[in-house]
Structure 1
Amino acid sequence: MLLQQIQAQAIQAPTRVALEGQSTQLTYSELAAEIARVSGALKALTNQASVALALDNSPAWIVLDLAVVAAGWSNVPVPAFFTAAQKQHAIADAGVSLVLTEMPAAWQQLYPDSTLLAEWIVAGQAVAVLRVHTHDRVAAADKITYTSGTTGAPKGVCLSAHTMWQVANSIATLIQPGAADRHFCVLPLATLLENVAGVYASLISGATVVVYPCQAVGFTGSQFDISRLYQGLQGSRASTAILIPELLRALVMYVQAGQAALTQLRFVAVGGAKVVPELILQAHALGLPVFEGYGLSECASVVALNTPQSHKPGSIGKPLPHVQLRVDMTGELWVKGALYHGYTQPEGGIVAPVLDEEGYLATGDLAYQDEDGYVYLSGRKKNMFITSFGRNVSPEWVESTLMHQPALLQVCVFGEARPFNVAIVVPQPQYSAEQVAQAIAQVNQQLPDYAQVGDVVFARQPFSPHNGQLTANGRLKRDVIAAAYVAEINAIYEGI
């Protein structure tokens, strides 16, 4: 259905712009033709393969992604922020034999025995086709998406094109993008959220997808330049976009500092991690139409979403039309609808998902639902820790309360089997250590004694995907952060 709906747009509005890059435009008819051409070129190389897509954001990325689907092959998007070891793990785990990239030299360093099979021009961009393994494995799924996760090697989540279409179609039904809309890609296309909820939902609806290289959007290594994101949203005349909480926080502060309102925006989704309700309200006060959502890779990204017609700040909204949610007696959220096929196995095949007798999947998230059907998250079940006084603490609850304070940029709280909690904090640059201490003291007055922060460690650098301390969607990788600051944390407790 995904490709059929894009083809239908090519017939109905052949001259409408589908993809717009910094120097390239493709109309819907040109997009359909380019997908068919590249799909044919892929099938001319071999009968069956798993393909790694390793390019920066560009119209070419989107064409290649859809061409692999059209070929009936398995597509494995490789995030640029993955380490070399993580990239090699994904290649081996998914049985990838071909890599499509604009940086063949970097991949030839990882795979010295690789062979350059072809060099193509796709959507105006040079793309190299490298064979990194000689064996072409039968595809386990239409798409295998890898997230950096919280520990160890990334897991490959196997999704079908139909599952991704269900999500995109539900989002299109709620948001109703159309010919006048211009979706600006902010997140890396290798992240499922941008790929499915951003690109697919826009293309099946006849909107224009504006996609620039990540650096042009503001991502440079581990640094982010909010002025570039603002300029991109403004200069592209974006009407829709997807942000993670850290980017929304930076954008709100940037507009508060005196930048003009982005009046052309009509819908900005924010997700990937818990959003402080006050941040949503601040955005709305500035005219930023921001709406929180929630999703899982295992559900092809979005599961629940607030919309302009139906929203409550602080909630993750209501389930998408194809989704069913329920909360069990322990407070864990379960989901049904558009589920993944399973996780990859290195030797081939997949491990099927574990579902209950009604076909629901446990999300691992703690939640509750109000009388109007809005869902609220309270933390991760596995992140819940028990203090040495026997009290259960959800660190996300403490962290979100701390993040209300303007002095704090990022926070990660620990306290398992300890008499009090310690926070690893990244302060806003303009705030002093004394101001940070005052902010935490103020928050502690709002928390019960067992949830209060007893001491602080100042982070050496912000948490980010590039140092392995954040996932691509902005979730804290607690084990990595704990390992980085174990000496400082232990020193605090040993000094009691």
Structure 2
Amino acid sequence: MSEVTVPPAGAVPADANLADLAWDNVAQYPTDVLLSRQVDGKWVDVTAAQFGEDVAAAAKGLIGAGVRPGDRVGVMSHTRYEWTLLDFAIWTAGAVTVPVYETSSAEQVEWVLGNSEAVAVVVEDAALQKTVESVRANLPTLANLWQLEDGAIDKLGELGADVPDGTLDERRHTAGPDDLATIVYTSGTTGRPKGCQLTHRNLYSNVLATAATLSHVFSPGQSTLLFLPLAHVFGRIIQCGSIYSRVRLGHLPNVSDLPTAFAEFSPDFILAVPRVFEKIYTGAQQKARTEGKGGIFDRAERAAIAYSQALDTGRIPVTLKAEHALFDRLVYARLREALGGSCRAVLSGSAPLGERLGHFFRGIGVPVFEGYGLTETSPVATVNTLGQTRIGSVGRPIPGTTVRIAEDTEILIKGEQIFAGYWKNPEATAEAIDSDGWFHTGDLGALDADGYLSITGRKKELIVTAGGKNVAPAVLEDRVRAHGLISQCMVVGDKMPFVAALVTIDEDAFGPWKEKAGKPADATVTDLLDDQDLLAEVQTAIDDANKAVSRAESIRKFRIMPADFTEESGELTPTLKLRRSIVATARAADISALYS
């Protein structure tokens, strides 16, 4: 199969915008609990009416501060109640949200806020305020900077005290479905993040389709604990889908608090990236072996995987049923308890999960519904769901979506969720969306006879770590190569827990460096691979490159190669560009050593 289309599940109202997701609940379900927020270490419920009051006060404050319809407003914070509050307040004021990762470097903050021409930004704490202040001289449009830990929400309330309700209501209806809702900056292969323009229709249609497809979790009375960054569109769609479906939404800023939070909040479903599942699995495995129960865990793992695989056939042997029931009491129940005891579904994306973990978690009673999408698809394009799961695939297209496999096996997508283009970058937009309206994902894949999509490779160079972080290698590689002693650098880390690099030494600069460092004149690079002075010199280049990116994107380890990449070896093109696949194959042992 080369193309599959799933009809829409519902239409975006002609005059709708995302603010309506909250305000419709205020009008129809004012006493329903929409969120829970942590206050003095306890979870406190927030009704639709209370949320509406908070949103109205903050939106009036933005209006009072001079934010106009269509203006861009930045939010730079960990995942917390105020992030969702501000998102809906910005939309209610008719403005556009610009998320900024709280881990961003000063250079990245300057680019995102400057390129988007943000007129205001709300940061979480003094450290983030200091980061913005360090580049504020280069941000001529930035008129307002508020800090959450310094009373930003109260200050907005004061600024909006004299704004009439009628003005707020007028602003709330300013934006239509095809107006801009948010600009989400995503890493590009040139190093500069590109601003994805997502309209209200893009996100609203994705909410409707996702909620219909995953109705067993997106329904009133369910709950979810959100701990992934809201600067990532994956977290934003769960936020919006939860508000739309009246799912009780909780926020957790610090993932190190997950065990306690799971126990206290007891979510019905969660959103996570594969790295989370890997940590849960390895943590349980290591604990079992430490307690002398490694053999039991290994048997329980085999039984869980076999049970899940048998579910696909519809025939579960009696002996396997009995073994599974035994391990459910001994092992699986404890693993489910680690997720709060009520979690019956996990939504996963950003990177491949792998069939082994997919079967393992379904086998213990926590099915992982793996999906696929990009920032440009707002973000969900395909997903596995209850009754329609094929482990190892990323599911079928969500309603209103068409997926096509091009002749070169690139995945092409059409649907209302396809973004409106890159902010101030018509050339990149034209490359991404063709004249027939197909979005070219840059990923390679295949559709089976039933329309399930599998990802087979990556056409573009963007690296996606196991934690789901998108990393553009060019910005790092260019900075590393800027060091006089270094010839080439190739950043690696796709599907790996962190970013690393292979580095080669410039032969012309090597001789002078050896003389200056007091090394033997006849020493080769191979002789000095473990030399502390050489390693320290390369580390200075790595440290400089890391200044341009967030910690999650930074190079954690590097390995010096004994020989340079060359055109003769096939590792460089005639224009001296890296042939990544060839380098990765030729240096596979070195790459493996970085993660051993």
Q: TM-score, normalised by structure 1?
A: 0.71
Q: Using the alignment, how far apart are the partners of 2:189 and 2:147 within structure 1?
A: 37
Instruction: Give the match for residue 444 of structure 2.
Output: 366
Instruction: Give the match for residue 304 of structure 2.
Output: none
Quickly say closer, same or farther: Cα 1:310–1:317, change in 2 above 3 A. same
Q: Using the alignment, how far apart are the partners of 1:296 and 1:424 within structure 2?
A: 19
Aligned with 2:385: secondary structure?
A: coil
Instruction: Give the match for residue 420 of structure 2.
Output: 341
Letter in 2 for 1:290: V
Query: CA shift at 1:112, angstroms?
Result: 5.8
8 Å CA contact retained: 2:409, 2:446: yes
Instruction: Give the match for residue 295 of structure 2.
Output: none
8 Å CA contact retained: 1:326, 1:335: yes
Quickly say closer, same or farther: Cα 1:356–1:483, change in 2 above 3 A. farther
Cα deviation, 1:261-308, whole Å, max 9, x if unaligned, reads 244112211110122111111211222221111111111111110012
Cα deviation, 1:418-441, whole Å, max 9, x if unaligned, reads xxx99879999xxxxxxxxxxxxx
Cα deviation, 1:85-106, whole Å, max 9, x if unaligned, reads 1111101111112111232344
Which of 396, 401, 404 is residue 326 of structure 1 equivalent to?
404
Listed as ranges, the matches of 1:98-117 within 5 Å are 98-103=120-125, 104-111=129-136, 117=144
Aligned with 1:329: secondary structure?
A: coil
Within the alignment, does 1:31 sit opposite 2:66 as a pair?
no
Listed as ranges, the matches of 1:426-445 within 5 Å are none
Q: CA RMSD in A?
A: 4.3
Deviates more, 1:200-209 or 1:102-111: 102-111
Within the alignment, does 1:237 sit opposite 2:266 as a pair?
yes
Aligned with 2:357: secondary structure?
A: helix
Q: Using the alignment, how far apart are the partners of 2:269 and 2:179 within structure 1?
A: 33
Higher helix share: 2
Letter in 1 for 2:228: L
Instruction: Give the match for residue 289 of structure 1.
Output: 367
8 Å CA contact retained: 1:365, 1:381: yes
Q: Using the alignment, how far apart are the partners of 2:79 and 2:556 within structure 1?
A: 32
Cα deviation, 1:213-261, whole Å, max 9, x if unaligned, reads 2x2x22xxxxxxxxx3233223211112111111121122334446442
Listed as ranges, the matches of 1:61-72 within 5 Å are 61-72=83-94
Within the alignment, does 1:79 sit opposite 2:118 as a pair?
no
8 Å CA contact retained: 1:116, 1:128: no
Structure 2 residues without counterparts, runs of 5 or longer: 1-15, 157-174, 289-333, 467-472, 474-489, 498-528, 531-537, 540-544, 566-582, 591-596
Listed as ranges, the matches of 1:180-191 within 5 Å are 180-191=221-232
Deviates more, 1:142-151 or 1:236-245: 142-151
Quickly say closer, same or farther: Cα 1:183–1:357, change in 2 above 3 A. same
Letter in 2 for 1:210: G
Query: CA shift at 1:318, angstroms?
Result: 0.4
8 Å CA contact retained: 2:120, 2:145: no
Greater relative contact order, per chain length (Cα 8 Å cut-off, separation 6+):
2
Q: Using the alignment, how far apart are the partners of 1:239 and 1:119 within structure 2?
A: 34
Which of 23, 27, 31 is residue 7 of structure 1 equivalent to?
23
Quickly say closer, same or farther: Cα 1:143–1:322, change in 2 above 3 A. same
8 Å CA contact retained: 2:106, 2:131: no
Q: Using the alignment, how far apart are the partners of 1:469 and 1:107 within structure 2?
A: 15
Query: CA shift at 1:174, angstroms?
Result: 1.4
Instruction: Give the match for residue 409 of structure 1.
Output: none
Query: CA shift at 1:484, angstroms?
Result: 4.6
Letter in 1 for 2:420: H
Listed as ranges, the matches of 1:10-409 within 5 Å are 10-23=26-39, 25-48=45-68, 49-103=71-125, 104-111=129-136, 117=144, 126=153, 141-176=180-215, 177-196=218-237, 198-213=238-253, 215=254, 217-218=255-256, 228-256=257-285, 257=287, 259-261=334-336, 262=339, 263-337=341-415, 338-345=417-424, 351=429, 354-383=432-461
Q: Using the alignment, how far apart are the partners of 1:424 and 1:156 within structure 2?
A: 24
Aligned with 1:321: secondary structure?
A: coil
Deviates more, 1:175-184 or 1:251-260: 251-260
Quickly say closer, same or farther: Cα 1:145–1:183, change in 2 above 3 A. same
Which has the greater radius of gyration? 2
Q: Using the alignment, how far apart are the partners of 1:334 and 1:200 within structure 2?
A: 25
- How many equivalent pairs are there? 408
Quickly say closer, same or farther: Cα 1:341–1:425, change in 2 above 3 A. closer
Q: Using the alignment, how far apart are the partners of 1:484 and 1:128 within structure 2?
A: 46
Quickly say closer, same or farther: Cα 1:96–1:117, change in 2 above 3 A. closer
Q: Using the alignment, how far apart are the partners of 1:164 and 1:84 within structure 2?
A: 29
Aligned with 1:56: secondary structure?
A: coil
Cα deviation, 1:72-127, whole Å, max 9, x if unaligned, reads 212100011221111111011111121112323442233269888586889x8757
Quickly say closer, same or farther: Cα 1:235–1:253, change in 2 above 3 A. farther
Quickly say closer, same or farther: Cα 1:350–1:364, change in 2 above 3 A. closer
Aligned with 1:75: secondary structure?
A: strand
Cα deviation, 1:368-413, whole Å, max 9, x if unaligned, reads 01011100001101359xxxxxxxxxx99xx99xxxxxxxxxxx9x
Q: Using the alignment, how far apart are the partners of 2:107 and 2:84 within structure 1?
A: 25
